Amino acid sequence: MKGVKFVVDENGERSAVLIDLQENADLWEDFYDAYVARERAEEPREPIEEVRQRLQAQGKLSRSE
C-alpha cells in the first residue's frame, strides 16, 4: 500500500507501522476513531432522549428534530 511502511524487529517480524498522513489521511482518521471508541467503551451511556431534551432546553435543537 502506497504511503504505508512496516518496521520490522531483529527477527523480521512486523513491530510497527509508519503511515504517510498526507497520503493516507482517511486511513489515519479511521484508525484514530476506532482507538477513541475503544478507549471510551466503558464510559457511562446517556439515553438519546435525555440528550435531545437537554439540547432542546438549551435552544440548540428545535422541538421538531
Q: Are 19 and 28 in contact (CB under 8 A)?
A: yes
Is 63 inside a domain boundary? Answer: no
Q: Which parts of the chain fold into alpha helices (H)? A: 25-39, 48-57
Give how many domains the chain has, as a whole number: 1
For residues 31 and 44, give the distance between their C-alpha atoms in angstroms, rounded to a whole number: 23
The pLDDT mean for the chain works out to: 94
Phi, psi of 63 (to 5 degrees): -65, -25
pLDDT at 30 over 80: yes
Is 53 inside a domain boundary? Answer: yes
Is 51 inside a domain boundary? Answer: yes
Q: Model-level pTM?
A: 0.54
Is 62 inside a domain boundary? Answer: no
C-alpha cell belonging to residue 18: 509508519
pLDDT at 45 over 80: yes
Output the pLDDT for position 64: 76
**DSSP structure class, residue 5:** E
Output the pLDDT for position 65: 63
Q: Give residue 25's domain range.
A: 4-57
